[in-house]
Chain A
Amino acid sequence: MRTLALGAVALASLASAASPARADDSAASGPAPIEGGLQAAVAQQGAAIEALRALLDSARKRFESGQSLVHLSGFLQVDWVVYDQASQDQVNGSTGAPLNEDRFTLRRGHLRADVEKGLLQGALEIDANTTSGPQVRPIEADVGFRWPLRAETSSIGVTVGLTRIPFGYEVQELDWVRPFLERATVLQALFPGEFDLGLRFNVRYRFVDWAFAMMNGSPIGSKVFPDLDPAAAKEIIGRVSIDVPIASGIRFQAGISGDSGTGFHAGTPATKPQLEWQDQNGSGVVEPNEIIAVGGSPATRSQLFHRFAVGGDARLFVRLGPLGDFSLRTEVVDAVNLDRGLEVADPISAGRDLREVGWSAGATQELTRWAMIGARYDLYNPDADASQQRGVNLVPVDRTYATLALVAMLRYAQARLLLEYDVNRNPLGIGANGAPTTLADNALTLRTQLVF
């Protein structure tokens, strides 16, 4: 068993060293071209086997001497927003944050250390970015136990700490593997930051993966109480997924996910009655009719509410000869009171449950191993029952956010150059008739990425 664990680590290390940008994305990889004929190919394979053998020997020696196996890795993503319709050379009057979006930004700079000693594993990943000014934060920090049952096909594991939320596919997808700049809006809204503190169980048996977690329910990207837990009740999250070859060169992946937890509505402290002066005529003089009595109010208690989500996802990979892989992906989520990242759901304030619905569908096509193009359409409605008072009528309104992402990518070794144009539709503008309309927010972004 020890040998198996060692071998798994060595294989993972070799895979990482040889092709780090594709370690979790084998289905999206194109076939390696054979250069110089069969002899060259055989020589390449021989060299790879020798490298693997040397790595195994090195790892075995370190393992037998009781040393921990530490692996350092990371990646950098630097964005240049070439064009953004919403950009203004102004600042937000209330926050002071600049409104200019046409800028260079360090989107993600991750440094990760993995350590393995026997059956125990640990990981610490730090994220540095300048999305909202310079920021360094832990993105993943967990310790765990993993017991391989049958080589690469079966294992059980337990992880505790700041760990990835087991819901949906794009939440699991690594940032440097994802072919699009960001996750679909629905997942950014419901699972902001993708990581939360908790306890996670993983079981893999042949082609089926189970993951269950008990978590705080406040992911690191939450707008309220990030990485904290204002309610004692924990979030229960689970995911079951399969990964099966259908035919030669065709692979199918699918999963279903569920989340059930408890949200928190913050109470308010008591306030005293007070007098307020409203200078209604702007004279600067206090006049009797400008003194207003503002009554006090008792404290209100904090309240809890139930929230949940169910989701499904599927992907199909088809290898198209020397051109590369063609892939289709789709994901759908239906949730209640779970938005924590975009329009925070608070059914206590709203007086009703907030139903969230979202889905995404996309396709990518590799153009040899050096390039890829793709498109994804995603849609998210944070309040499917929203309405608006418009004159004498209370009318339903569409609060849907939608994005069409068109992407072209060049790849070389561990580097990527990615150009994405996002056609964004949102309900943040007001039309001439008072109805919500799209606030112009299309963007063209150029991203460079390097994995190490």
Chain B
Amino acid sequence: MRRLAPPASICLGVACASCSSGVPADAGYDALMQLPGAQFVRGPMPTGSTQGPGVTQISLIANEIWPDLVDDPIGGALGVGATAAALGLQGDVGYWIVVAGVPNVATPDEPSFAASAAFSAAIVPGGNYTLVVQAVDQAGDFGIPSTAPLAAETSPTNPPPTGDLVVTLTWDTESSLDLHVVDPNGVEIYWGNPSSEPPPPFNQVDGGSYGYLDDDSNANCVIDGLRREDVIWPDPPPPGRYIVRVDTTSLCGQPIAYWSVQVVLEGQILGRAAGVAVDADTLGNHGLGAGVLALEFRVP
């Protein structure tokens, strides 16, 4: 028996290695454009050929996109014989497969496609992106791609603040997270101390540059929809080492919250960090010194 068991395990191991099949279960959370409910395929889109059907129409509400834009409808019509559409941003980490639907009234002979797109926080305002759509037929042949230009802007509802140094915390669910930034002087800026400026008359001593917190979003779970907090130095910030922490005061009934922190110094991204807040993060102190370390950076 002892001689029989190891070969059995080896056989199973061989089976393990050889039986991989099917499309990967990849949610595509790192893609710039995401289509919930569609199949994500990692890698570049196929080149396409005239053997496959073409795309006859791409319909967009507008060509403008911005970071964290959600529920942006994308639709159109496909060439006769198409059974699916492949959609993706040029240069993205992958693309999405959407099943073709019944023809629209305006194009009664052509299958339609429709999706609701979301764009990640990594979309860079001011950048130009290209939406690529390819029709696919029953045999899996990809047609010649059609494109539509997309212009990335700043969010009209949540524009980023301006300043010499901006530390920004954003998150994705209606929960209450707090940004804590410790400046080189050891002053912690957070909801309990929203400015590093000392009270008068001490603020007249050096006339230095002070940072301030612009919002306490979703405080006490009063949902304001911003899901963003910034600590801003309008003038050149004091040089030295800065510490950024993220504190989760409450998830407000949400299961989790993905957060990201970005540091912009004089218009240039100095650093980024991301994490996830779970229920265990809500425990303990939420005042001075609270939160998990997001990143440290140095201002020259």
Contact = CB atoms under 8 A, between A and B. Distances in A.
Contacts of B111: 390-392
A441 B21 CA distance: 8
B142 A432 contact: yes
Given A390-B100, A430-B23, A433-B83, A410 B5 contact: yes
A433 B20 contact: no
A442 B23 CA distance: 11
Contact of B81 (A87, A282, A388, A391): A391
A224 B138 CA distance: 37
A442 B20 contact: yes
Contacts of B123: none
Interface stretch (B101-109, B233-241, B285-293): B101-109
B255 A431 contact: no
A435 interface: yes
Interface residues of B, number: 58
B27 A433 contact: no
B156 A438 contact: no
A435 B81 CA distance: 14
Contacts of B136: 432-434
A303 interface: no
Contacts of B36: 93
A441 to B, nearest CB: 7
B114 to A, nearest CB: 12
A83 interface: yes
Contacts of A419: 8-9, 12
Given A85-B25, A433-B140, A437-B23, A281 B99 contact: no
Majority DSSP secondary structure for residues of A touching B = loop
A389 interface: yes
B157 A282 contact: yes
B32 interface: no
Contacts of B9: 408, 419
Interface stretch (A110-118, A237-245, A365-373): A365-373
A435 B140 CA distance: 10
Contacts of B22: 85, 425-426, 429, 437-441
A425 B36 CA distance: 23
A420 B16 CA distance: 10
Interface string B120-144: 0000000000000000111110100
Interface string B1-33: 100110011011001100111111111010000
A282 B72 contact: yes
B78 interface: yes
Contacts of A391: 78, 81-83, 100-101, 111
A221 B25 CA distance: 25
B14 to A, nearest CB: 10
A425 B21 CA distance: 8
Nearest to B255: A96
Interface centre among A389, A433, A437 (most CB of B within 10 A): A433
Nearest to B30: A90
Contacts of A435: 83, 138
Contacts of A269: none
Nearest to B153: A282
Interface stretch (B61-69, B187-195, B208-216, B265-273): B61-69
B179 interface: no
B38 interface: yes
B97 interface: yes
A284 interface: yes
Contacts of A373: 8
Contacts of B78: 391
Given A367-B1, A391-B82, A429-B23, A282 B69 contact: yes
Nearest to B37: A430
A421 B23 contact: no
B166 interface: no
A99 interface: yes
B156 A284 contact: yes
Contacts of B16: 83, 421, 442, 444
Interface string B68-101: 0100110000100111101000000000011111
B217 to A, nearest CB: 15
A45 interface: no
A86 interface: yes
B23 A438 contact: yes
A282 B255 CA distance: 26
A370 B1 contact: yes
Interface in B174-221: none
A95 interface: yes
A437 B23 CA distance: 7
Interface in A377-419: 388-393, 406, 408, 410, 419
B97 A432 contact: yes
B293 to A, nearest CB: 20
A85 B20 contact: yes
Contact of A367 (B4, B12, B23): B4
A389 B101 contact: yes
A246 B87 CA distance: 63
Contacts of A297: none
Most buried by A among B22, B23, B156: B22
A423 interface: yes
Given A85-B25, A406-B12, A419-B12, A440 B255 contact: no
Interface of B: 1, 4-5, 8-9, 11-12, 15-16, 19-27, 29, 36, 38-39, 41, 61-62, 64, 66, 69, 72-73, 78, 81-84, 86, 97-103, 109, 111, 136-140, 142, 155-157, 254-256, 276
Given A85-B25, A419-B9, 13 more contacts: A282-B62, A284-B157, A371-B5, A390-B99, A393-B83, A408-B8, A419-B12, A420-B12, A426-B22, A431-B140, A435-B138, A440-B25, A442-B20
17 contacts: A85-B25, A90-B27, A282-B155, A373-B8, A391-B82, A393-B83, A408-B8, A419-B9, A429-B25, A432-B41, A433-B84, A433-B137, A438-B21, A439-B24, A440-B20, A440-B21, A442-B19
User: 10 closest pairs, A vs B, by CB?
Assistant: A96-B255, A434-B84, A438-B22, A284-B157, A391-B111, A430-B39, A408-B8, A440-B22, A434-B99, A429-B23
Interface of A: 83, 85-88, 90-91, 93, 95-97, 99, 280-284, 367-368, 370-371, 373, 388-393, 406, 408, 410, 419-421, 423, 425-426, 429-435, 437-442, 444
